[in-house]
Structure 1
């Protein structure tokens, strides 16, 4: 490939830029700023184009104009947009010279992003000769193929910022990711492959290996959207179109734009801290790669390869030379399965067991007290590891220290998750870790659409045996069994479902048949506690025609992270000195304190849908990302009114609160507050956004500052969104 057709080399060092803060307002046709908007539009009509008379008033009346106000409340710029089916389109983005290069344009666009999250995304068209490619790219937009402008010999570049990709598109990509090892190619690899495709005279010995048939059978070469912004920098129209079409032959991985900005900011900090030089386009390409679903990033660029260890340490993305990838293809293919995963925001992590670790695990977990044969135990583990398509072996450990627990799952049966080995050893976390693992195993079984969890380990430690019985496991001929149905049905539907489920099963399922008969009893359905007992027995099943009350309760991110939200808790680990204590994070039971006022009849027993609010308190509560959603469902076991000191002493064993925290809660006239003891929290796979909540409750103005009681119909709709 000729040098003039390559992308421009990255020469700009990363700069720390401090933008001026502008107040962004959405104006109407009565706004005093409308005249300033018109004046700015007329002054820049040569670049903005002709705008019909009265169009400013029409857009203002529809509240489709955003203005940027400086510290003196003067309008220094505006953004005018329109709605086009599932998309929003930017018509004008105009900044007065006094507000340019100060961040006004970005802040206007960012506000538009915030108010369009429920749409597909935002589109615009911009003439190439305005040379604003760098600006739109830095705003997170992606360039598409140019179109002809009305002006002679001019071209328009369409730009797209996509909030919500089409489900079909996402499904197709997901299928491709599941079929092979996915590796994102860096821009330098893309250009080399493009040159190979176009028979350009370059050294292609290493490029050929990536396109070899046997490699293609194992490897899925991918790109991300940022490649189109790099292609957009090519000046030659024909060359630019050619590269664009070539890029479309690769799987293009999507990424969450909000997480993208977080990763981009962190990446910029890392680059600056380590004195690396990376141009903005390559920086954004790398950030998008980090935010995608890939674990491997291929490049020959020395700068990127020099960053490999730092990138992996911070983002678990392997930056690797193609030749090295081919040499380690088999090992890397399994690598995503062995990534350590943090547990509940603690420093503990779980990791899949590798072959060769048998002796270490045997020494820690064989049960000599029950006279288990050490050699037999070792042979079992070797067998499970050899057939990893049928068995999943996981160890829980404290960083790289000694293992704390061992779990082996059998996955052969469609309707049942079997736990062949479950050991927690003898340490201060044994009991709480045992209950945590069992609860997570039940959820795992339900999420995999299995109906039962069976524990067949014949050498269970006493802490495990006690935890099993507390979790409503039933003793069967070869171990212990628990029903875990991921269904939402009326009582009669649930009774029929259970009867049909075990119709062809043996006698060990008689406990399900008895339960099916009992559910038909009307007295059970009208009694809230009985209904909750049945739901717990079949957890996470839900009975839709029961008398169980449901409340939406707002909770600050800080307390959610401590009490149940593992995703928020893991955010805390990124900050120095944070992290949940394992003995608290693994508790199945917890307590939440609040003021008594506006409790809206909250009482036990009932269900809670937890709404992680946008409110973030001082100190430890600040700094959370992606808040403002329903994240979990719990059962309320008890609601107690009392003095803060009395409640603190009573529930201190459950507590993430200290006494100072409770003393800050507003008391009633009798100096009382409320304690909510809850348990069995199901953390949702998918968050339910505030906008979705508004739609379900049919409330345009929804204020979530206190408990909100909702009816059964609304609960069912919201709960069903958890796995959409």
Structure 2
């Protein structure tokens, strides 16, 4: 059909939070909510603030818009909406083409659409091909979603990674809302959870307490129907009675014991959600929601209304679920375990619920102690002496094998598990082991959920990750990947990745290089478009974020839990504007009156995102990272809450074994023929200088 709206009057524009286009976009979304699903105003605001909302403006009107997420190397469409009077006019294609052109380095765009919607026919015309079909979330009439993919010709290194969906437990009132046929405003808020675009983002679960509440329903027929419906969800049960008792005590101390059977059920719902690794508890119970802050502080579970969960989904997926605030206040220490610890370790970490044989568990612990030159075992201990985590790693030929990876169940178990896996990878790298392999058959769900994001894939035995060593070229990485392809049942991803790495016509785009470095961390790739910077940081912040030696000094009061944080945020003045993401950074610790002898490059990190804006808004978004106080951020903005600052979210931090002092940096710059970087503010550094400083920081490995 001919384009009835000439493209000469058309423009594609990013929609920012204060844009005059945003109300039009929200209005258009509301008009099409029947097919798009409920989308709160806050969700539109969040997508706009992240640059993930595009509008097509024609004849001074919003003719269409799209919202999207960027996760690893995949762009996922959330909404693609065109106003009825502009349909069949090329608006959808213009939006998709614009997004594609602005997404260099990504593997492609993913979309899902119900097969019974007329819009399902448009995707081939937009350059998409059908990949597969999956069940929809409708409760009454079964629906089918077709998965569409627009390929950019690059491999998605995470395409076979385990799911990292948000786990949200449903309160009984929300479950009942989802099951009913009635249409009322409050019921519709809950039913919005069934929107198809949320299918790959959230796993809804129920606790076994919901069946107790169903029994209280007066109508037998309704009881049977609700029991059948509740059984379609994954059911969380009391698998750790000791932890349930402990968390119940903490929760009761925070919000009181309750005064009715319903109150008792509510508290059991909350505790079971935490024990089984839930992040959110979705409820319309205003009594519980009034205690949301106390619930979060006492057991680490976030109680939210359905609409709030939907609004928060984008942030949770973009920034991952491993947010640092979930360890705040927990002073943890890591040490080798001893023979005297074995009985306590078995009592705490043996997988009783999965019938793990105690003799085999104990034998693994004892073997590690007996073979201390080839095996290392460590435990994580809380301030009160309680065991929190266990890691046993053995060296076998060219591999580092994680024989035991255990954490106690609780709100921060996935954060701790991720840190333990990271320790194993660092040990493997120091020992020159080319592969880290997880062979623990009884690894808890919280630990298993982090593996995909860390580069682990299903292997011929357990799950395995390729370890990069030192700094390397893309061709070296291709050779390393091919050298281990036999351990993967489906090595197609290795050949696809290697072919892209060996493509010599241009440097690897920065986004793809960034994802490659995350997968092969801690190695660094030399010949890519990923930029490197050197960033000054005050000693007190370095002590909090990564510098263990400074943290041990009494001059700087540091929270030991911060050393477990794998993702953090650093704030600075937005002037001068020097850094773009993604990027690598070297941390230069400046001098201070308390620590005049620092002046050294002490660590390196990967920067995933840069956010610039008014201090109040930027801090509000990242305050859960917990390192900086509002007073610190306000000072950067010259005491103006609306003054401009920037924050960059970074991770994969690697503290140097030997910090490189300022004089040595000058020598290295001269040796590689580079200018000495200006250290008063962030400065871009050439790859050769980055490589020289990095190798110097780990010279003991040579």
Greater Rg, structure 1 or structure 2?
1
